[in-house]
Amino acid sequence: MKKIALIVFVGFAAFMSMAFISKKTNDPWPVPDKYLKMANPVKSDPASIAHGKDLYTQHCQSCHGKKGKGDGPKAAQLDTECGDFTKADFQKQPDGAIFYKTSEGRKDMPSYKKKIPEADDIWAVVNYVRTLK
């Protein structure tokens, strides 16, 4: 009986360790200086925001959620958190950093430079996510 209890305990401890290890975490996402200093060439006006919203709905909403809180239907399936675009930490990033992250991707976040090949379209998405406060 003691062996069974020990096996159950060790198994439970291993399971809890794996649950802790696989917990969603976000490592720092370094952005090259070039992008940190890059200005958004697309004016943030109603037209660009509407266009950005259309692209966001098509490409981003399934993970990032309708309101940008990182709670889309696919978010739970990911190994990393989607992030909350409404938080100050996200919103304080320069536009170029958001452009870079959207274009290049990393880990669960895919690169969108092929799915959204026009840079101005990605800039429009940046303009839209700026409205998610």
CB hemisphere CA count around 63 (13 angstroms)? 12
Check residue 27 and give its pLDDT: 84
Q: If one looks up domain 28-129 in CATH, what number appears?
A: 1.10.760.10
pLDDT by residue for the chain (133 residues), tens only, comes to 665 544 544 444 444 434 444 445 668 999 999 999 999 999 999 999 999 999 999 999 999 999 999 999 999 999 989 889 999 999 999 999 999 999 999 999 999 999 999 999 999 999 999 999 9
What are the distances in angstroms from CA 123 to CA 25, 33, 59, 68, 109? 27, 18, 14, 16, 17
Every domain of the chain and the residues it spans: 28-129
Closest CA to 109 of 52, 43, 22, 26: 26
Check residue 88 and give its pLDDT: 97
Residue type (1 letter), 86:
T
- Is the pTM here over 0.85, yes or no? no
Q: Token digits for 90?
A: 């996200």
**Which residues make beta-bridge pairs with 109?**
106
CA distance 29 to 8: 39
Check residue 23 and give its pLDDT: 46
